[in-house]
Amino acid sequence: MTRDRIEKSSELINALFFDKIFNLMLRTNDEKIRLKSFEIMCNMIHQNNWRKKLATQGYFKQVYASMEVTKIDEKTLEKLSWMTTLVCFHPDMIEQIQNLKLLNFIMKLIDTKFPAVIRSNAVLAISLLTYHE
């Protein structure tokens, strides 16, 4: 891509970036890389434009569809619970929360079989939801 097509170039770079992050997050067996990918995504949730892109382009849906609470390791589940808490923090995500049925997901995380950090993230997520109208 050339400078005269900078708009298309940035779209291409963004698409490659998202594809790479999500492939690492959802398909890698390397725990360190997977956890780092979750951290990148959590950082992106703080930015309005990135958060909206994650929601509207189905990235959140991909993550929650591929993660089954009982089949993922504790460290990944901890990152996923924190990501869920961050999503619940933002009022503009209420429609996304409803579409993904995140409340059901959060309720699974409250189970006593999970470590305290995962359960506390779930409780915080529910608490944050009470601030939204």
Give, in order, the Cα–Cα distances in Å from 29 to each of 5, 66, 94: 37, 14, 32
pLDDT score at 30:
79
pLDDT score at 122:
96
What is the CB neighbour count within 10 angstroms for residue 39? 12
User: What is the DSSP secondary-structure string of 60-75?
Assistant: HHHHHHH--GGGS-HH
Helices in the chain by DSSP H: which ranges? 6-27, 31-45, 48-56, 59-66, 74-89, 94-99, 102-109, 116-129
Contact predicate 37/25, CB 8 Å: yes
Could you tell me the pTM of the whole model?
0.82
pLDDT score at 5:
60
Give the domains, in start order, of the chain with CATH numbers. Answer: 3-129 (1.25.10.10)
In order along its 133 residues, the chain shows pLDDT tens digits of 455 665 666 666 666 676 777 776 777 787 888 888 888 889 889 999 889 988 988 888 888 888 888 888 899 999 999 999 999 999 999 999 999 999 999 999 999 999 999 999 999 999 998 887 7
Q: Backbone phi, then psi, for 110, in 5-degree steps?
A: -80, -15
pLDDT score at 28:
74
pLDDT score at 16:
65
Structure tokens given for 31: 């725990």
